[in-house]
Chain A
Amino acid sequence: MPHSFRFLEDIALADIAFEAKGDSIEELFRGATQALLETLANPTSVGSAWTRWITKMDEDVASLLFEWLSELIYWKDAAGVVYHEAPLALTCENGKWMVVSTLVGAPVDRQIQELRNDVKGITKHLYEVKQHGEQWTARVVLDV
């Protein structure tokens, strides 16, 4: 499987933590993105009436993942949406990493969507992105 994630039970007593994995950094981003989307709402219950093109850049891949996930939280509040999907592409040029994505979702509607947790932010607590051979892993704690 190119990417995966699992929720962690033994840390962040009052909040939510997950570990995402990927066969590449790009796949790691996809795994972490999916974990966040599924924390907010069941993506299959969310339509696609709202879209937003996003690009973010950073020299450090861990900082970029943090900023990218924070951007998803920002638009959740600013536009009042939850997400169906967030297909993304990650590139590296001249030492700068760039993530490009089109966020796809719909305004919050508790009648038709399976809503879950209102994540308020991504935290730096125990935050890490690391590589073991070909495998990339990220640990993320979400403040809810």
Chain B
Amino acid sequence: MRLNTDMRVNRITDEVWEIPPSEKSGMLVPARIYATPAILQSMDRGVFDQVTNVACLPGIQRYALCMPDGHWGYGFPIGGVAAFDVRNGVISPGGVGYDVNCGMRLIRTDLSLEDVQPRLERLMTELFRNVPAGVGAGGLVKLNRASLESVMVKGARWCIEEGYGWHQDIGHIEEDGCLGGADPSKISDQAVGRGINQLGTLGSGNHYLEVQVVSNDRIFDPLTAAALGIIGQDQIVVMVHCGSRGFGHQVASDYLKLFEKAMRRYGISVKDQQLACAPFGSTEGQDYFAAMNCAANMAFANRQVITYQIRKAFAAVFGRSAEELGMELVYDVAHNIAKVERYPEGDLVVHRKGATRAFGPGHIELPTEFQQTGQPVICGGSMETGSYLLVGTDQASRDTFGSTMHGSGRTMSRAQAKKQVRGEQLQRQLQQRGILVKAVSMSGLAEEAGFAYKNISEVVETVDRAGITKKVAELRPIGNIKG
């Protein structure tokens, strides 16, 4: 098998591969990659280099992991998971990502494709008008510094208090939409300046809002699907992918700069400047953790306000309230985050960068509602292919620090994608296939063409066969909004 690395990669199972510590100086633990042989062969060199760099970080436990949607990232690969001892390990902004708490949200409806198809153009226009997207777009919720600080501390709870959602939404968000330990005094003026106008905005790049359909033949686990409100019969659902916008990016940039200096003081050296880190228990480590939690809460609130706008748009188009349309939140998951979680080794700070938490049935941190099913996991594909709803498993808690994949993962650069197709051409092609796309930027649309991504079904099959998540349903796009 030809791989994009000179390092030795040993087969553990057909879905798990290991690079032993002997392959790179400084590796403290092995690196493990979840992939089929075909996916492993398609992975870029960055994955192998970066996951083994992560394996060199102080205090790392068991393995540095990479999920099958992995590709090159800043410091950590996208799809990277690593857990560090809270007493002698580190925290690294490069293990969280610039877009802190970038994540996925899925909203169900009682509508069917038959209800929506005749009004799809109007619905997408209304959603495009209601949910600001693209470069520099400001949000519809006006904040001042004090209210932004409340958002930083309360996350989605702030939105519910202010009327931007339903009380029952909270229990359907990872960590109830509010991470503790957020401290606005650890946030720079620059981050505030960038974030103050951005609540309720989608952004651009690979972020999107998608109207999808669930047909009976694409439900793999009907009982679990029904428990999560997914009934099939060409049911319409809505998926949102976005994060903490410029606010979170500024937090990451501020602390990367701080950590570069702190590392010298703590005698830490890293293989890549973007892996800058600090001991978790140090002042710098705790300050970043407090600031990152602020950004994570901003992201939960961002997706909550977008949900409010989506419900308004549906109500306007279908002439019934969102409650009457059954627009309950299925779940909201973070896929760029660091959190303290308990494992047999003790309390660990688990970094997930382009990876999703996937706690199984009976996990103590899940609410009663998900005790039987396991935690819902939402994985977004490209706008041309499907997306997936999955659930976490006990095996994920045992093998991958309760983690799994997050999406399909890119295989082609943005510049290459734009050479192959123009945005307008792609928009026409998709419309012919029944997918209505509204985009702020046509060049940005071309960059997100389906051929620039891995086949999500193969990625999902990998984690399903590896047992770290179980497929519930495939969600097929019929309408997409991009920044």
CB of B413 within 8 A of chain A? Answer: yes
Interchain CB contact under 8 A, B194 and A78: yes
- What 6 A-B pairs are tightest by C-beta distance, nearest first? A118-B204, A108-B136, A77-B194, A77-B246, A78-B193, A120-B249
Q: A7-B415, A124-B274, A143-B249 given as contacts; is B193 within 8 A of A14 (CB)? A: no
Shortest CB distance A7–B (Å): 5
Main secondary structure of the interface of A (DSSP, over half): mixed
CB of A15 within 8 A of chain B? Answer: yes
Tell me which residues from 94 to 124 in chain A have a Cβ below 8 Å from any Cβ of chain B. Answer: 107-108, 110, 114-118, 120-121, 123-124
CB of A54 within 8 A of chain B? Answer: no
Interchain CB contact under 8 A, B135 and A116: yes
Interchain CB contact under 8 A, A123 and B274: yes
CB of B443 within 8 A of chain A? Answer: yes
Shortest CB distance B465–A (Å): 26
Q: A117-B444, A120-B98, A121-B98 given as contacts; is B415 within 8 A of A81 (CB)? A: no
Shortest CB distance A111–B (Å): 10
Interchain CB contact under 8 A, B415 and A13: no
State in angstroms the CA–CA spacing of A123 and B75 once bound together: 11
Shortest CB distance B298–A (Å): 13
Interchain CB contact under 8 A, B274 and A108: no
A selection of 20 A-B contacts at a CB cut-off of 8 Å is A9-B416, A10-B413, A13-B44, A14-B78, A14-B414, A15-B414, A16-B414, A74-B193, A74-B250, A77-B198, A77-B246, A78-B193, A78-B197, A81-B136, A82-B136, A117-B447, A124-B274, A125-B74, A125-B274, A143-B98
Chain B residues within 8 Å of A81, by CB: 136
CB of B385 within 8 A of chain A? Answer: no
CB of B39 within 8 A of chain A? Answer: no
State in angstroms the CA–CA spacing of A120 and B135 once bound together: 9
Interchain CB contact under 8 A, A108 and B246: no
Chain A residues within 8 Å of B447, by CB: 117
Interchain CB contact under 8 A, B71 and A14: yes
CB of A8 within 8 A of chain B? Answer: yes
Q: Which residue of B lies closest to A118 (CB)?
A: B204
Q: Which residue of B lies closest to A74 (CB)?
A: B190
Chain A residues within 8 Å of B416, by CB: 9
Shortest CB distance A46–B (Å): 10
Q: Which residue of A lies closest to B98 (CB)?
A: A143
Chain B residues within 8 Å of A123, by CB: 74, 98, 274
Chain B residues within 8 Å of A140, by CB: none
CB of B371 within 8 A of chain A? Answer: no
Residues of A within 8 A of B (CB): 7-16, 40-41, 70, 73-74, 76-78, 80-82, 107-108, 110, 114-118, 120-121, 123-125, 143-144
CB of B206 within 8 A of chain A? Answer: yes
CB of B441 within 8 A of chain A? Answer: yes
Tell me which residues from 190 to 208 in chain B have a Cβ below 8 Å from any Cβ of chain A. Answer: 190, 193-198, 203-206
Most buried by B among A70, A74, A78, A108: A78
Chain B residues within 8 Å of A8, by CB: 415
Shortest CB distance B24–A (Å): 19
State in angstroms the CA–CA spacing of A117 and B415 once bound together: 12
Tell me which residues from 124 to 149 in chain B have a Cβ below 8 Å from any Cβ of chain A. Answer: 134-138
Residues of B within 8 A of A (CB): 44, 46, 71-75, 78, 98-99, 134-138, 190, 193-198, 203-206, 245-246, 249-250, 252-253, 256, 273-274, 410-416, 419, 440-441, 443-444, 447, 483
Shortest CB distance A73–B (Å): 7
Interchain CB contact under 8 A, B74 and A117: no
Q: Which residue of A lies closest to B257 (CB)?
A: A124
Interchain CB contact under 8 A, A13 and B441: no
Chain A residues within 8 Å of B206, by CB: 14
Chain A residues within 8 Å of B136, by CB: 40, 76-77, 80-82, 107-108, 115, 118
Shortest CB distance B118–A (Å): 27
Interchain CB contact under 8 A, A117 and B246: no
State in angstroms the CA–CA spacing of A110 and B78 once bound together: 31
Interchain CB contact under 8 A, A120 and B74: no
Chain B residues within 8 Å of A13, by CB: 44, 46, 71-72, 410-413
Q: A13-B413, A80-B197, A82-B136 given as contacts; is B246 within 8 A of A73 (CB)? A: yes
Q: A12-B413, A14-B71 given as contacts; is B190 within 8 A of A118 (CB)? A: no
User: Which of B73, B197, B444 interacts with A77 by CB under 8 Å?
Assistant: B197
State in angstroms the CA–CA spacing of A112 and B402 once bound together: 47
State in angstroms the CA–CA spacing of A110 and B463 once bound together: 40
Q: A118-B205, A120-B246, A123-B274 given as contacts; is B98 within 8 A of A110 (CB)? A: no
Interchain CB contact under 8 A, B441 and A117: yes
User: Which of A7, A110, A143 interacts with B134 by CB under 8 Å?
Assistant: A110
Chain B residues within 8 Å of A40, by CB: 135-136
User: Which of A124, A125, A144 interacts with B205 by CB under 8 Å?
Assistant: A144
Interchain CB contact under 8 A, B135 and A108: yes
Chain B residues within 8 Å of A108, by CB: 134-138
Q: A116-B444, A143-B74 given as contacts; is B415 within 8 A of A80 (CB)? A: no
